[in-house]
Amino acid sequence: MRFLPRLGLSAALAAAAFLSWRLLLQSPARSRAGDLAPKAEEGFTLTLDTFLHVQQLRKRRLRAFCSQAGKVSKLPSNQEKRASLLPSLRVNTKLDLLYCQVPSAGLEEWHQLLEKLEEENVTLPVLLPYHQLHTKETRLSEFNQTEIKAMLGSYTKVLFVRDPFHRLIATFLQGMGISPSFSSFVQEVLDSGMHNSSVAWKPLVSLCRPCLIQYDYVVMFGFLRQELGHLLRRAGLPVGSLLPELTDSQVQWTYRWLSEQMFSELSAQQKKQLSHFYRWDLAAFPFSSSFLSDHPSTVETWQN
Q: Where are the domains of the chain?
A: 46-119+136-284
Kindly calculate the radius of gyration of the chain based on its CA atoms and give it in whole angstroms: 19
Q: Of 63-77, 85-99, 175-189, 274-288, which range is least confident?
A: 63-77
137 or 201: whose pLDDT is higher? Answer: 201
pLDDT > 90: percent of the chain:
28
Q: Give the confidence band of 11 by pLDDT, cuts at 50, 70, 90.
A: very low
**Partner residues linked to 139 by β-bridges:** 90
Decide if 106 contacts 248 (C-beta within 8 A). Answer: yes
Q: What is the pLDDT of residue 254?
A: 85
Q: What is the pLDDT of residue 28?
A: 37
Closest of 218, 208, 217 to residue 100, by C-alpha: 208
Q: What is the pLDDT of residue 137?
A: 63
pLDDT > 70: percent of the chain:
66
Q: Which of 38-42, 118-122, 181-185 has the highest mean pLDDT?
A: 181-185
* Statement: residue 200 has pLDDT above 80: yes
**DSSP 8-state code for residue 42:** G
Q: What is the pLDDT of residue 77?
A: 66
Mean confidence (pLDDT) of the chain: 75
- In angstroms, the CA 28 to CA 148 distance is 45
| Residue partners of 290: CB distance under 8 A and separation at least 6 | 30, 260
* Statement: residue 153 has pLDDT above 70: yes
Q: Give the confidence band of 257 by pLDDT, cuts at 50, 70, 90.
A: confident
Q: Report the sign of the C-alpha dihedral through residues 76, 80, 81, 82, in that order.
A: positive
Q: What is the pLDDT of residue 3?
A: 44
Q: What is the pLDDT of residue 72?
A: 58
DSSP output for 162-179: --HHHHHHHHHHTT-SS-
CA-CA distances (angstroms) from residue 120 to 117, 231, 238, 240, 241?
Answer: 5, 18, 9, 12, 12
- In angstroms, the CA 272 to CA 292 distance is 8
Decide if 186 contacts 265 (C-beta within 8 A). Answer: no
119-144 tens-digit pLDDT: 776 655 545 445 444 456 688 888 88
Q: What is the pLDDT of residue 245?
A: 72
| Residue partners of 122: CB distance under 8 A and separation at least 6 | 94, 95, 237, 238
Q: Of 1-10, 171-180, 237-246, which range is least confident?
A: 1-10
* Statement: residue 71 has pLDDT above 50: yes
Q: Of 9-13, 48-52, 219-223, 274-278, which range is least confident?
A: 9-13
pTM of the entire predicted model = 0.78
**DSSP 8-state code for residue 161:** E
Determine the distance from the C-alpha atom of residue 290 to the mean position of all C-alpha atoms in its chain, rounded to a whole number: 19
